[in-house]
Amino acid sequence: MKKTLIRTPYETYYYEDSERIEGVPKGITGNLSGVRGDLSGITGDLSGITGDLSGVIGDLSGVTGNLSGVRGDLDDCDITDEEREKGISINELIK
C-alpha cells in the first residue's frame, strides 16, 4: 500500500431547517443523501465513507473515513485484496 493521496483544507456543512450547520451530518455514514461532488470514477462499497468525494477516483472497497478535502486516485495506492478485506482508514493513504 502506498500513500499517494493528499488532503487540502475544506469546509463541510449542511442545512437543517434552513439553518447552515458546520460539520458532517450524523447520519451520512453509509448514506449518500446530502453528499455533494462528482461521483463518476468511484467504485466499491461506499458504506463508512463521509464527505465530499469530488476529488477522489478509484476503487473505494475496504476504505473508510472522511474524504472531505482528499484528492487523488485510490488505484495509485496499490491496495491489495488482503488489505481491503482487513479494512483501511483513508488516513493511511494520505501523504
Residue spans per domain, the chain: 6-90
CB 30 within 8 A of CB 47: yes
- pLDDT at residue 41, as a whole number: 60
DSSP lists the bridge partners of residue 49 as 65
Residue whose entry in the numeric block shows the C-alpha cell 493513504? 93
Whether this model's pTM surpasses 0.85: no
Cell 437543517, residue located: 16
Q: Kindly report, residue by residue over 25-47, the tens digit of the pLDDT.
A: 565 545 555 555 655 566 667 77
How many residues are there in the chain? 95
